[in-house]
């Protein structure tokens, strides 16, 4: 079973539209971290945000916002007033503490959502 599910494979919007990218995760750990990364056409994964499992506060950074809800195991990402430069593949990832507290911290990635923002 997938531990991180990004159900939207591709999304296409017109510039200035708001768009939400969904992420649902599965873990038995009570201590874990969630991440979002952006992969533009150049290919390099760019870190966007890290959130720990004890902090359910929503976060806003400019046009980006994240909604973390443990009750639904979701960590959704919203881009407000999208721009062409937002076009990229976005990955949600999970890092678990592990049974013995000594997790190596390898990231478990979703399959990614390709966002295309048209002018």
Question: With the C-alpha atoms ordered 84, 17, 109, 58, is the resulting torsion angle positive or negative?
Answer: positive
What is residue 28's DSSP assignment? S
- Between 36 and 76, name the residue whose CB sits nearer to other proteins: 36
By DSSP bridging, strand 4-5 and strand 46-52 are unpaired
Between CA 99 and CA 118 the distance in angstroms is: 45
Binding of other proteins by 16 (CB under 8 A): no
Binding segment for other proteins (CB under 8 A), chosen from 18-26, 33-41, 59-67, 69-77, is 33-41
Which position among 86, 91, 115, 117 is part of the footprint of other proteins (CB under 8 A)? 91
Binding of other proteins by 77 (CB under 8 A): no
Which position among 47, 60, 70, 81 is part of the footprint of other proteins (CB under 8 A)? 47
Binding of other proteins by 105 (CB under 8 A): yes
List the structure tokens of 42: 């150049």
Cβ atoms 96, 27 nearer than 8 A: yes
Binding of other proteins by 106 (CB under 8 A): yes
Phi, psi of 11 (to 5 degrees): -135, 135
Interface with other proteins by CB under 8 A: which residues? Answer: 31-33, 35, 37, 42-47, 50, 52, 91, 93, 95-98, 102-112
């Amino acid at each position: 079973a997938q531990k991180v599910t990004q159900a939207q494979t591709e999304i296409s919007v017109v510039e200035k539209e708001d768009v939400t990218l969904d992420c649902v995760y599965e873990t038995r750990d009570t201590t874990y971290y969630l991440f979002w990364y952006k992969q533009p056409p150049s290919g390099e994964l760019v870190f966007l945000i890290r959130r720990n499992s004890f902090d359910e506060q929503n976060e806003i950074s400019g046009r980006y916002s994240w909604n973390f809800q443990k009750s639904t195991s979701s960590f959704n990402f919203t881009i407000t007033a999208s721009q062409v430069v937002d076009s990229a593949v976005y990955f949600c990832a999970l890092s678990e503490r592990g049974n013995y507290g000594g997790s190596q911290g390898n990231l478990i990635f979703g399959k990614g959502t390709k966002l295309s923002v048209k002018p």
